[in-house]
Amino acid sequence: MKKAFIFIILFLLIGIGFLFSVRESDVFAQFPIPRTAEKDAKISHDSSVEKYARYSWPKIKKDEPIPSSYKTLITMWGWKEKEQQDRKEMTVFKKDEKEIRFFTHDGFFILVTTK
């Protein structure tokens, strides 16, 4: 009985830590960003871009999918992944009428909405 109680407490603590590992983006309302990701000052010069944010995050790689733990949190926040695009480094997430394009690169990712 004592081992089961300890297991449940550990499970809850890990779950709570997992949930608090993200924060809301300051550019894209209601989109989670890893707490360890840092927003860069870079801007987009593309006229079709409505909003743009670049975040440095060493856990992300261009040729690898978004880490599953982070993707799970994005889903928990209500975002759904659209059908896979032709571009492996881009994932599109949709929530209500909002769409965010998520581009992966080595050591950073970019979030974009278009006009």
Q: Which residue has the tokens 């990712």?
A: 109
pTM, two decimals, is 0.77
pLDDT of residue 60: 92
pLDDT mean for each 10 residues of the chain (115 residues): 63 49 83 92 85 93 87 92 77 93 94 87
pLDDT of residue 13: 46
What's the rounded Cα separation, in Å, for the pair 51 and 48?
9
Q: Any idea where the domains of the chain sit in the sequence?
A: 2-114
In the 3-class helix/strand/coil scheme, how is 5-66 assigned residue by residue? HHHHHHHHHHHHHHHCCEEECCCCCCCEEECCCEECCCCCCCCCEEEEEEEECCCCCCCCCC
What's the rounded Cα separation, in Å, for the pair 76 and 95?
11
pLDDT of residue 33: 94
